[in-house]
Structure 1
Amino acid sequence: MNRTFFGEIVRRIDPGFRLASCEPVTGGCIHEAWQVTGGSRRYFVKTAAAARLPMFAAEAEGLRALAATKAVRVPAVLDWGCLEGKAFLILEWLPLTGRDGDADARLGECLARLHRVPQPRYGWPCDNFIGATPQPNGFADDWIAFWRQRRLGYQLALAARQGYGGKIQELGERLLVNLDALFSGHRVVPSLLHGDLWSGNAASEPFW
């Protein structure tokens, strides 16, 4: 990656920035991730082909929604866009470390607070992604219909289009038919969720 690229994108948010280094760091398997430094300032930057800019835009919107709840710590979104045929997303640099039992307990408390943030309806204002796979959203008033059409049903249809017709497909289609019975007597309340939460999306900060 051209060093000039990193200097130019960071100066969009930090006009006095003078690039000292740009080092690759771990950050998932879909995009490239970088630690970009200049003096005492440091940023986390993700880059990808320009065609993947919608993924960064959706990630930025989701992070800002999570941050607004003040329930769980997420990196601040600083900028995103395209330059020289590359999409980029600039985030606050956080000195993350591995999790232990105390950190996991704290994370569980934070997620519980997040899940108590009520929402008026099920869904999200725009489509986004789970990994690199597009995820349809839109709003719905009925949880079972939303789950049937835009979560489980969509994934099963996607698998079928890819040629998969195995046992999981058969069982999944049976489940779609019987979702109403599965949730009988259970009132699902719309709330804000972190939709792609896995071990690589959670870490601890030193002060934890």
Structure 2
Amino acid sequence: MTDNRSTSISRRGLLRAFAATAVTAAPTYSSAAGFLRGAGDVRRLRMYNGRTGEQIDMIYWIDGQYIADSLQQVNHFMRDWRNGQVKNIDTRTLDIAAAAHNLLDVNEPYTLVSGYRSPATNQMLRSQSSGVARNSLHLQGQAADLRLSSRSVNQMARAAASCHAGGVGRYSGSNFVHMDCGNVRSWGS
């Protein structure tokens, strides 16, 4: 059985991937909506996980195709760090995060505050805070809480909201932005 997300990469696409990893900044696109529709040839994700000390800087999409090995690495990176459980992260959420990062025009990787959350972790967090949803999209691998030290919560939220592709939550008190691929909506301050 083959994974429909894996594909052979053209020589041209492979050369673009090598070129993209050699530069310090991801390519910038004029609009996140165009990027999410497939503009450009490469999508790149750069993150640091302060809980585990891990980092990723990888191309996960090239020439119109997601790279299965890269997605597996992203799934592991965004796992529930409290218990090690892994879930497939929805590629739409990755696309929103990557597009917002490009719009912010920064070299700094995101700091991952929260990716996938197991039901046990979500319940534990709900018992400690009223701000954790019972049916959080984190449970489905469809949300990420992200931070950049070089950009404000408002700047990050505006970039993510410009994608018109999911939910954007501002958590200024905790200094992070929630991005998900659910219904288009926004909240917080």
Both structures adopt the same fold (TM-score exceeding 0.5):
no
TM-score, with structure 1 as normaliser:
0.25
- Bigger radius of gyration, 1 or 2? 1
Task: Select the structure that is richer in helix.
Answer: 1
